[in-house]
Every structure is written in C-alpha cells, then in structure tokens.
Chain A
C-alpha cells in the first residue's frame, strides 16, 4: 500500500509485530495492534525509530489514544505511522494526535495531506502537535501550552 509522510521519505525499517518485538526489543521498528499496551514501550522509546499503529476500520479509534500516549506521555519522537483503513478525512485528527506517516490506498491522499494542517486554523484542545488551543490564545498572545 502507498506510504505518505509529512517529513520527507518514510522510514525504510521493517516493523515486526509487538509479540515478536518483545523478545528482541533492540529492533528499532514495531507494529502494534490497537489492543497492545503502548505503556510496555516506555523504556524503549528513545531507541525506536518507527512505530506503526493500526486502524482495522477507520471507525475504530483506539489508535488515536495509543498515539497520544506515545507522543505525549512516553515522549516518543520517532516516526509514527497509521496503517490499515486510513482515510484522508481522518487526517486532521491523525495529525493532531501525533501521527506523521500514513499507509493508504485512497486516491487523492497526498493532496489531502498537503492541505490537512491548514483545514482548521483554530483548535480547542492541546494535543501532541504543539498547536496552541483557543482557550490559551484568549489569555494572551504570549500564552504557551
């Protein structure tokens, strides 16, 4: 399936399933089912280069929570890829939760990705993309998240 990345070429690492990765945690790329416990990656996030999170159906939103925990709580900075049923209309949500690469066979996905960040110039929540929510902007220009 075609790969798309916001930041140049997507990582060329091959991921291995979480169960396999657990017996060789030195491998830098892992793929998680949306029921796998992201917390178990806590002491490895500095070494990991690519994590894949899975959307078996676009309507199954568990991976959004996994992504936010990886980025926000565990401080993962490597590539975070959405796989499975990934649709262009999800992009604003995916980007806000910290995904930066995507597997999708939907036509028009790359154009959608190029414009997804400018679709909404206002956000209401502080999430993993560093955007300042309206509630903070209202408190003054120098407000930080």
Chain B
C-alpha cells in the first residue's frame, strides 16, 4: 500500500503477524484434536480475537487507532463474505466484529487479514487491548499533534508484551491529540492527551484509572506533562504497578480503576513515579530517530489546493434541505481550507447501529478512493469517517453515501445512537439493545426535528458491563433483568467531553421495553420546554436538575 498516509508494516511487522497466525493455527489444531480442553484453549483464542458467543464464534478484528485504507476495508468485506454472513459490526472500541465464524476457518480468516497488514491480536483477554484514538486524527482543525503516531508506538510495544499478557483484567488505552476529546480518554484505563505546555513543548497528560462497567470511574491525572519520548517508560511503569498490585481476587475489582480508588491517586502516583524513575533512562526511552520514522509515515497527504467555497455546495445548501442538514451535522472542520471531514452515518433510522454489509463496505472503500485519499476511519460512535474530502466534492459524496444508505444527517443527534450487541449476540446480556436503538431512531426519524433537538447522545448497553457506554450518554439506557423480564434503567447527564466528563445519574425505577420510546420522548419534550437559547439537552439537565424530567417520565407510568 504505497500511497497510504499512515503506518505501513515492514518485514518485521509482517513476520510477527505471520508467526502469530502459525502459532494459533497449531493451537486450533490441538483444540480440534482434543489435545487442549476448552478451558485451556479459551485464553489462547481470546488473545487472538476469537470469542464464543450465544450462537457461534465471534471474531473481533482490531482496527488500530481506527484507521483503514480502502484496500483494508475491501478485505474486511471479503472476509465477511467468505467466512461470515456477509456483514460486520463496527464497535465502540474501533474493532469490527464478525458474528458467525467457524473455528476451523479462524486461522484462514486471520491469514486473509494479514494480507492487508491487519490482525486480531489482543482484541480480547486480560492484556493491553487495541489502542484507540480520535477518529479525526491527522485531519482535524483543532489538533495539536496526530495521536496515531503514539498509538502505533504503543501498538508495537504492547503486542505480545511478555510481562503484560496475563494482567488482572483487560486494559484499554486511548489517545487524543485535540483539546476536544473525541476518544473519551477519561474513561479508559489509561487516557493520554497531547497538549502544548507554556514553554511550547508538546507532551502527554497521563490519566489513569477511568473506566465504565459495574463501577464507572473518571480517570485521575497522574501526570500533567510527560515528555513524549518517555511515553513507553511511563506506560511500562504504570502497567508493572498494576500487574503487581492490582486485585485478582474478584473479577469486578480487578481493573486498575479499583486499585487507584483503593490506594488513592497520591499513592498510585508515588508508586508509578518510583517505577518510572527506575526505567526512564533505559531501553524504553524512545530514540528521536524512531519517533521521526514513525511520524514520517503519518505525514499528512499532499492535498491539492481546492476552493474553500464551492458554488454547487452553496446552491445546494439553500435549495436542498437534506443536504444542508447533512453538511451541518455530518461534516467537520478540516485543518486545510477547501476540505471537510465527512462522517458516514451507520445509523439510518430504524437500523442496527454500526452494522455494515460487505457491499456497503466496498461502497465506502470506493468513495474513499474517489474522494478521500483512499482513507477511512472507524469512530467509537460506530460510524465511518472520510478524513479528507474537498468541499467541492461534498455534493457528490453526499449522493454516493445516499446510495449506500449512510447519508442520514444525524451525526451527534438523537438518531446517532451507540448500542452494544445486547441479547441478540452477547452471552452476557440481560436485555436487548439493538431493537431498542432501532425503535428510538425510528421514532425520531424526522431529521428536521432531530436538528431542532440538537446535540444529544443516547448510549445503550445490554448489561452493566457498559460496552455501549451508557454511563456517559446524555441519556443512558441500561438493560437489566428482573425475574426474567427485560427492563431498562435510564440515566441522565453523562458526558465524555474534556473538562465536562461525567457519569450519568439514574433517573428512577427501570421501565419495560415498550415504554422506552415514550420515556425518551418525554425527556426530549421536557428539555424543549425548558431550554434556553442554544442550550444542549445535557446542559439544560444540569441547570434544572432531574426533577422535571423525572416527573414527566414517571407521570405516564
């Protein structure tokens, strides 16, 4: 892939992935031959991305920092067709899940992935998981530095890390290079935010111990400013402290957030700093040449000069309401005049959030080739992104996306719902998530109304594990099980924006599935009555408190 503007594997990377597949092929052979019990095989398959779900094996493919070339996306479509049922599910962790993989086929599917320099390593298991990033990285107008350079450095360091492959629990790292956090760094085990200090140096704020799940927590800043070349030293120090002292007696208390909570941020900082002091001058300090070589691969594409204002766009903006709405919600400022970042909404009204068929993936790849330097991003909000689209080309891209069903002008709106797989696919679920999302987005299908309601993030999880991020939804919906009945608990006021990160508060008793749409409708109506000019749903909630929302929702019950 000579013309990609992000990291290209070299022979070392390719060899490692190939050898890992050979190892896994042998492990699968031993499992099928009965030499390994399911209990022994489970951790081996999990760290190769293979889950056993309700109906079949599920393969979770890593999309490191959410970046894909069109060629890689076509290969994903191809794998979905050959080894699955012709579609895949993009997740909040910048992964692609295929739900119907046969164990016998898994090594071949991985080999097919490797053809395009991709893998499924460490997408599960108690190890350092796929590293996520701002999906607008390298393109956003508000960016300080491309976080993917650092994600790639972390990807390599964490891949098959011999010390950290059997941690107390899974471990998630997210990196953002923008002051507007699109990577939710405060709710990760480690969140890293690049910023420029008063002396003009760029480094990381290191946030540790955030996470969702049963005990949602917002991470603590362990270090205001970490020099970039010491990133791996600091990560290794943190992981070592966690590996040695993290709790293992209870699955629910094994995350680093519990360690930070129990010993306190001060003690945690002291422990990490002591370990960091011991490793910072060793082999973990990144040589400038290494950083430069990786940064060079993420050098922005040489985008041709294009007009900042295009006549056709201006005309459509006035004459075509659908286009105007789409322009407003589904495109974002690019660092270069004449370009926009375009989000393809994988949330057509009434559809399962994040699903894409193989044909749709191919279609997205075609659009990327024609209009976005052959590049696509996967967002943690379960959408796809074209990072570099000329303003001039927007009408064409809008039409092409419309043909795929991905032009819904609802990004950031009430229809842009995040939902975990829930009871339809997940063995741990208490309740359905996808059908609830489908009903809500169907109810609010009218785009003009969505735009009137404005920014509103609904996030749905099928159980307390919080894969759908319900804790940080402006409206969070959590599936709970009461004596075999699927009920839904609503929370309000969650947020992931930087400086405003908050865990939502439960509104009241859980309600039945068929009341969820009505409840959301009541919440929206309450907001519309009370909002002041320009106030978002979550801001109104913060100002007026839960009471009016609560009264309205439960009056009907």
Contact = CB atoms under 8 A, between A and B. Distances in A.
Interface of A: 58-62, 64-66, 68, 73, 87, 89, 92-94, 96-97, 107-108, 119-127, 133-135, 137-139, 145
Interface stretch (B181-189, B259-267, B287-295, B495-503): B287-295
Nearest to A108: B35
Contacts of B159: 124
A94 B163 CA distance: 8
Interface in B202-235: none
A135 B156 contact: yes
B160 to A, nearest CB: 7
Interface string B1-31: 0000000001011011001101100010000
B248 interface: yes
Contacts of B157: 124-125
Nearest to B286: A135
B54 interface: no
B12 A125 contact: no
A65 B243 CA distance: 7
Contacts of B240: 65
B524 interface: no
Interface of B, secondary structure class, is helix
Interface of A, secondary structure class, is loop
Given A122-B19, A139-B289, A87 B40 contact: yes
B162 interface: yes
A35 B278 CA distance: 20
Contacts of A137: 12
A87 B30 CA distance: 14
Which of B15, B159, B278, B283 counts the most chain A CB atoms within 10 A? B283
Nearest to B40: A87
B244 A125 contact: no
B164 interface: yes
Contact of B243 (A64, A121, A139): A64
B544 to A, nearest CB: 48
Contact of B163 (A120, A124, A127, A138): A127
10 shortest interchain CB distances as A-B pairs: A61-B166, A96-B162, A134-B12, A126-B283, A93-B162, A122-B16, A64-B163, A124-B156, A122-B12, A65-B243
Contacts of A139: 287, 289-290
Contacts of B284: 126
B16 A124 contact: yes
Contacts of B278: 73
Given A65-B163, A89-B40, A93-B165, 5 more contacts: A65-B244, A73-B278, A89-B27, A138-B12, A138-B293
A58 B46 CA distance: 14
A93 B165 CA distance: 8
B44 interface: yes
10 contacts: A62-B244, A73-B278, A89-B40, A120-B19, A122-B15, A122-B16, A124-B159, A126-B283, A135-B156, A139-B289
B43 interface: yes
A138 B161 contact: no
A92 B166 CA distance: 13
A119 B19 contact: yes
A59 B126 contact: yes
B167 interface: yes
Contacts of A96: 162
A122 B289 CA distance: 20
Contacts of B160: 92-93, 120, 123-124
Contacts of B40: 87, 89
A6 to B, nearest CB: 15
